Structure 1
């Protein structure tokens, strides 16, 4: 099974390959967050804009399900590079320069060939002006092209320096344990339970003041249908004002309000609240 490489940076998982991200999104329903891409339901959104960042819950789930491999270079990047790594990096830079020079030479040579008749005529006029006889003037087009090619290949060019987002020298994946706090552990159990049982897309719910948003399909094409709030315990009456705020907000944004919690047996339970007149209906 192909495992998608994810690069751990500042405690977040980054994906830089478009195909890997699309596989993660459409095959495994792990959406992540595209950096610099606004939230939109438009079909014109450029989904290939990378990098993408996985939340801590998405990353932990993908590790457990053996969907991804984690590359953690934090410790190595804090140290001075070894000579072997320096050599490999310089080889990459030279390769990039060579790849940039090839199309540059081809373009300049193509332009030279288009102007070759005028160039030959200009040289002939110079020889005539210098006193040479027309019969003695012999200008070989192939020689001119060869000389121009040598000149272009040895000339200095303005190079584009690529700044890699991920480490350019890929190594074996690192064994990484993602530690979650007690509160995050409960939220992760809810996230995992929904992902395994409901077959819905799940994203963070910060924009709507909840823990998770549930989508019936890809969030690029569907609006969220449910707002999930993770509770510390099963007693919904502990904070009635909090429940009212959550439910009122869900009505305004036209979403179903769901409360999730872990019972004494360690099972994740759900309660849904909906408006019925002026009273709440708990289902």
Structure 2
């Protein structure tokens, strides 16, 4: 089961594996809020942690896909022992990089040994040809002279060449190694989490958004926040990395009126970005409580 870490009233995902599982297997996108190591000054792409919408969190808990946990140890000031442990972890990561670099270099040398041997042979042949020309042999062609003088040079065998090339490998300087910035605590499995509940919606509009999100999710859609187009949700037929949104969903209570200008703005935005505007509300005829009310939808079109 995936563990969602509670932080400042929101649920976060710090593990890259959990992020991939949520997106690929459960159609939960969330919002990446961290920076990418090494490119911290750019703002186009974000990294872990992943912050989840309240609707996403409630859905995952309801479907028993995840649990919400709190780690008290993560909120405490790091001790001296923990700092030493982290420095040891950094050294281990550096040694892993050195080992990986050496293995990659060995692989390339082994793959290119024939090219290296041929290059050395041609170099020796070139040296012998120059010697032949200097001595000005009278009864031999230059090719024969090259051949005879090439015998003066002993061409190393493959194993010797591989050994020679491997001896040239220089370890990665420690100050040039890639910085290892884990998004998840490396020792999380040694900490004891406390499972905590997530609060239920306190207002009816929150119930509507929660139920709308869950209903659309069960229909097989990907759903993200829709504020950038003036709605509550954007609904996609597939992964947002591959598809454009089809619908802009705005949630309104049955007794709530929509100002004319706001209604016009919603419809015109939907038309300009080629997305259908969907009004989600509670069915006023079922007479059920907030937890049992069903959601109905109405499409809004801009007609010129």
Short-chain TM bin: 0.5 to 0.7
* Corresponding pairs, count: 231
| C-alpha deviation, 1:16, in angstroms | 2.9
Q: Assess if the C-alpha contact under 8 Å between 1:193 and 1:268 holds in 2.
A: no
For 2:33 and 2:229, the matched residues in 1 are separated by: 19
For 1:229 and 1:57, the matched residues in 2 are separated by: 14
Alpha-carbon spacing, 1:15–1:185, altered in 2? closer, same or farther (3 Å): farther
TM-score, normalised on structure 2? 0.59
Q: 1:194 aligns with which of 209, 216, 229?
A: 216
Alpha-carbon spacing, 1:241–1:13, altered in 2? closer, same or farther (3 Å): same
- What pairs up with 1:124-143 in 2 under 5 angstroms? none
2:95 counterpart of 1:98:
yes
Q: Assess if the C-alpha contact under 8 Å between 1:7 and 1:14 holds in 2.
A: yes
Q: Which moved more, 1:266-275 or 1:252-261?
A: 266-275
Alpha-carbon spacing, 1:185–1:62, altered in 2? closer, same or farther (3 Å): same
For 1:240 and 1:77, the matched residues in 2 are separated by: 49
Q: Corresponding residue for 2:15?
A: 16
Alpha-carbon spacing, 1:273–1:96, altered in 2? closer, same or farther (3 Å): closer
- What pairs up with 1:61-80 in 2 under 5 angstroms? 61-73=59-71, 75-80=72-77
Q: Assess if the C-alpha contact under 8 Å between 2:267 and 2:302 holds in 1.
A: no
Unpaired runs of 5+ residues, structure 2, are 36-44, 110-115, 117-162
Q: Corresponding residue for 1:268?
A: 294
Unpaired runs of 5+ residues, structure 1, are 38-46, 115-144, 279-283
| C-alpha deviation, 1:239, in angstroms | 3.2
Q: Assess if the C-alpha contact under 8 Å between 1:7 and 1:72 holds in 2.
A: yes
Between structure 1 and structure 2, the one with the greater Rg is 2
Structure 1 stretches of 4+ with a deviation exceeding 6 A read 104-108
For 1:86 and 1:214, the matched residues in 2 are separated by: 45
For 1:105 and 1:248, the matched residues in 2 are separated by: 60
TM-score, normalised on structure 1? 0.63
Instruction: Deviation per CA, 1:112-132: give whole Å up to 9, x if none.
Output: xx9xxxxxxxxxxxxxxxxxx
